[in-house]
Structure 1
Amino acid sequence: MPAADVLFTGGAVFTGTGEPLHGHAVAVAGDRILAVVPEPEASAHIDEHTRVVDLDGALLSPGFQDAHVHPVSAGVELLMCNLTEATDAADAVAHVQAYADANPDEAWIQGGGWSMDHFPGGAPVRALLDAVVPDRPVLLMSRDHHSTWANTAAIRAAGLDASTPDPADGRIEREPDGTPAGTFHEGAGALFDHVRPPIGADLAYAGLLRAQEDLIALGITGWQDAWVGTGLGGVQDVASVYRRALAEGTLKVHVVGAQWWERAGGLEQLDEMVRRRAEFAALDHGRFTLGTTKIMVDGVAENQTAAMLTPYRDVHGHDTGNRGLSFIDPERLREIVTQLDAAEFQVHFHALGDRAVREALDAVEAAREANGATDGRHHLAHLQVVEERETARFADLEAVANIQALWATHEDQIDELTLPFLQDGAEARQYPFGDLVRNGARLAAGSDWPVSSADPMHAIHIAVTRVAPGLDSEPLGGAHQRLDLATAMAAYTSGSAYVNHRDHDTGYVREGYLANLVVLDPDPFGLPAGEIHRSTVVATWIDGELAYSRTS
């Protein structure tokens, strides 16, 4: 028997699907899993050079893969004016003041992470920022990156006033006389692009490395970057940041980059996407690929830009004329997706409202009719509201449901800014994971960090319970939308590996697969459902090397 460099023993093994194995050891040689064997046979793989890791009852699992994340902008925001830890509106403003005071030479204060539920109507006003930074422009992205908060200096610098119209893909919150009030939703945030300073290359690179460090500590060994283009958080070219990491050998994980589809553009974008895909394929042996295209179908429900089949209601419960925004005409979307599929691109849809989900699935269906079955593994992310009959179409079209499970619980943003403005019965259609699984849909999982925490175990806890830790509420959408723990774990491991076209060598604990592994303690399969969040990462291994240890 060949000797192992590392041998894991003394704990259960989640292989990437089904219930964990008990009484087995995992041998690693070099960067690969050498064998998964019964414990009595493990000694055959040990010699004087073998490092034996006693799990002491912890769980060994494939490394997590985040199927929808924005690490470059997340890392940059951590290094700028970071509001993610603010507890309310006053605390957010205090964070801004502290950052401005500590950085007197920055011409613009930029960053993000503010929560919509901290402000009336989800829309902070310019006066709050003016009170603490009156003399410099301030521009801050919301935590979900669908809204921008600006002070008066920034609004003036951009030349915006009461006469500025709303763009087709966004909305400006206004004061009674039409003056911009301070919040700019969706595409309205781009009205600052011509004046805001770009994020420098060194800061963007530092942001990626900071994000990678944080994600590895959460057991994440691969991800799909859901916006590789220009402009996200002021970063001018996300792909160039990864190119530098490849050149300097600092990219430790494997990454699929989703090239950003400019919704105002046309099919002329496809040639450039093909060129960039080939460029990065020539640079690296699979560490970073650009074979995916990201398409924003709609916005988000809390600012009423998610595309819905029924109208939103006003504060009095009356129907409005607003059904949200479809950023791309559905007929044109079908044409775009058909051409992308023919060019062997995967399509990663942002589809949050029920109309957006239908339009995205219609586009996948059109591509399938035109091109036949392909290995595109197209996936729809977010899926907040899904009509019941649409859940069966995922399996029929081999489309993957890319879930952000952390959101599938009662909390202020959904209870105060979303559900009151939707039609009766809408709560029952929120994040219908159970329906999707019962109808045969394949699941992947991601965080959308920095929109919300990147911690897979917190998301898995909510996928299983539909209640956030510490809350005493009814499960959002009903108990029938819960997932069992093995299914939720599989979504974050083998499911996301499938989406990333890396299920041939990652996402499972199998002989011959890369030794990308995570150790979780306590074993979540041994905990009551309400305590799953207590299971945390003890160690992360990448390519057979220890990449993170909680004790080191």
Structure 2
Amino acid sequence: MGAGYCGPAYTDQETLNKVVAIADKAGYQVELHAMGDEAVHMLLDAFEYAQKENGKRDARHQIAHATLMRDEDIQRMADLEVIGAMQPMWFYYDPFFSYMEEANFGPERFAKEYRVKTMLDAGIVMTGSVDYPITLEVRPLTGIQAGATQQSPFDEGENDPKTLRNPNEAVSVMDMIKFYTTNGAKALFMEDKIGSIEKDKLADMVVLGQNLTEVDVRQVANTGVLYTISGGRVVYEGGDKTVAALPIQ
């Protein structure tokens, strides 16, 4: 495979542009999945085309994964106000997929994956998710720690330098909390109902055993859930303040 090779596209740019523009004109929020830099570029071209055809609106279109991006597309994604639906459990060097990606992409391109801090600094709104069942670990707390350390959030690997991916792209615990709360609510057009504890919003929340912004960042994933509240009712009551963070095999 020569320089500049990318996988085959299953649609052409013109068709993609038209489909996205039709959905956008009808008022739909479009979410598309893209992992390679050429795929992300094609989606941004389609969102830009729709905006030029239909006019700018509060569309909150999304790209799921946005794994690898061209340098110039990071700011373009922010300017187009396209949301990144990210998977923080992929932000560290895991023993399952990372070594294969590095072998296929090469170390230089591998290092350009998941540039979360760069994306955040550019103004891209990002949310947290897991891509289940590809990733079986579904707890937001592990994702928060992984994004803040760029290292394994599990007890057996959190101090292992082999799990460190890109320390320059680590973000704060509070930034990661927003991935799963206010940013997620914004992506759903539900910021007036959920995402933060405010008057007239739904009483859907968890009470944690420790303050995530005050504890050692490597203890975030070990935080226990004391209460889960849904619709103002306590639907779960936990015990211990901390739990063991063990990977799901």
Bin of the TM-score, shorter chain as denominator length: 0.7 to 0.9
Match for residue 501 of structure 1?
A: 189
- Does the 8 A contact of 2:224 with 2:238 survive in 1? no
1:348 paired with 2:36, answer: no
Give the C-alpha shift of residue 441 in structure 1: 0.8
| Structure 2 residue matching 1:546: 3-state secondary structure | strand
Question: After the TM superposition, which segments of 4 or more aligned residues of structure 1 sit over 4 Å from their partners?
Answer: 319-322
Please give the alpha-carbon distance, in whole angstroms, between the structure 2 residues aligned to 1:423 and 1:331: 31
1:448 paired with 2:131, answer: yes
1:400-479 maps to which residues of 2 (within 5 A)? 400-452=83-135, 453-468=137-152, 469=154, 470-471=156-157, 472-473=160-161, 475-476=164-165, 478-479=166-167
Alignment CA distance shift 1:415-1:433 (3 Å): same
| Structure 1 residue matching 2:186: 3-state secondary structure | helix
Q: Which has the larger radius of gyration?
A: 1
> Unaligned 5+ residue runs, structure 2?
240-249
Give the C-alpha shift of residue 321 in structure 1: 9.2
- Does the 8 A contact of 1:522 with 1:534 survive in 2? no
**RMSD, matched Cα:** 1.7
TM-score, normalised by the number of residues in structure 2: 0.88
Give the C-alpha shift of residue 449 in structure 1: 1.6
Give the C-alpha shift of residue 373 in structure 1: 1.3
| Structure 1 residue matching 2:30: 3-state secondary structure | strand
TM-score, normalised by the number of residues in structure 1: 0.41
Give the C-alpha shift of residue 424 in structure 1: 4.4
Aligned AA for 1:527?
Answer: V
Give the C-alpha shift of residue 320 in structure 1: 8.5
| Structure 2 residue matching 1:548: 3-state secondary structure | strand
1:337 paired with 2:20, answer: yes
Alignment CA distance shift 1:342-1:473 (3 Å): same
1:262-411 maps to which residues of 2 (within 5 A)? 319=2, 323-411=6-94
Please give the alpha-carbon distance, in whole angstroms, between the structure 2 residues aligned to 1:438 and 1:320: 30
Alignment CA distance shift 1:321-1:489 (3 Å): closer
Match for residue 301 of structure 1?
A: none
- Per-residue displacement from partner, 1:216-255 (whole Å, max 9, x unpaired)? xxxxxxxxxxxxxxxxxxxxxxxxxxxxxxxxxxxxxxxx
Aligned AA for 1:363?
Answer: A
Give the C-alpha shift of residue 393 in structure 1: 1.2
Match for residue 200 of structure 2?
A: 512
Alignment CA distance shift 1:456-1:325 (3 Å): farther
Please give the alpha-carbon distance, in whole angstroms, between the structure 1 residues aligned to 2:187 and 2:103: 34
Please give the alpha-carbon distance, in whole angstroms, between the structure 2 residues aligned to 1:489 and 1:371: 34
Match for residue 545 of structure 1?
A: 233
**Alignment length (residue pairs):** 233
| More relative contact order, 1 or 2 (CA 8 Å, 6+ apart) | 1
> Unaligned 5+ residue runs, structure 1?
1-310, 312-318
1:516-535 maps to which residues of 2 (within 5 A)? 516-535=204-223
Please give the alpha-carbon distance, in whole angstroms, between the structure 1 residues aligned to 2:150 and 2:42: 27
| Structure 2 residue matching 1:359: 3-state secondary structure | helix
- Does the 8 A contact of 1:506 with 1:514 survive in 2? yes
Match for residue 481 of structure 1?
A: 169
Give the C-alpha shift of residue 503 in structure 1: 0.7
Alignment CA distance shift 1:321-1:402 (3 Å): closer
Please give the alpha-carbon distance, in whole angstroms, between the structure 2 residues aligned to 1:321 and 1:509: 48
Please give the alpha-carbon distance, in whole angstroms, between the structure 1 residues aligned to 2:5 and 2:41: 18
- Does the 8 A contact of 1:410 with 1:473 survive in 2? no
- Does the 8 A contact of 2:210 with 2:223 survive in 1? yes
- Per-residue displacement from partner, 1:320-351 (whole Å, max 9, x unpaired)? 99622323222211111011000111011111
Alignment CA distance shift 1:410-1:424 (3 Å): closer
Please give the alpha-carbon distance, in whole angstroms, between the structure 1 residues aligned to 2:30 and 2:188: 11
- Does the 8 A contact of 2:101 with 2:110 survive in 1? no
Please give the alpha-carbon distance, in whole angstroms, between the structure 2 residues aligned to 1:412 and 1:324: 24
Please give the alpha-carbon distance, in whole angstroms, between the structure 2 residues aligned to 1:450 and 1:523: 30
Please give the alpha-carbon distance, in whole angstroms, between the structure 1 residues aligned to 2:183 and 2:13: 28
Give the C-alpha shift of residue 504 in structure 1: 1.1
- Per-residue displacement from partner, 1:456-485 (whole Å, max 9, x unpaired)? 001111000000033212631x22211101
Overall identity of the aligned pairs, in %: 24
Give the C-alpha shift of residue 398 in structure 1: 0.8
- Per-residue displacement from partner, 1:278-320 (whole Å, max 9, x unpaired)? xxxxxxxxxxxxxxxxxxxxxxxxxxxxxxxxx5xxxxxxx59
- Per-residue displacement from partner, 1:48-104 (whole Å, max 9, x unpaired)? xxxxxxxxxxxxxxxxxxxxxxxxxxxxxxxxxxxxxxxxxxxxxxxxxxxxxxxxx
Deviates more, 1:486-495 or 1:415-424: 415-424
User: Which one has the bigger strand percentage?
Assistant: 1
Give the C-alpha shift of residue 414 in structure 1: 3.0
Give the C-alpha shift of residue 416 in structure 1: 2.9
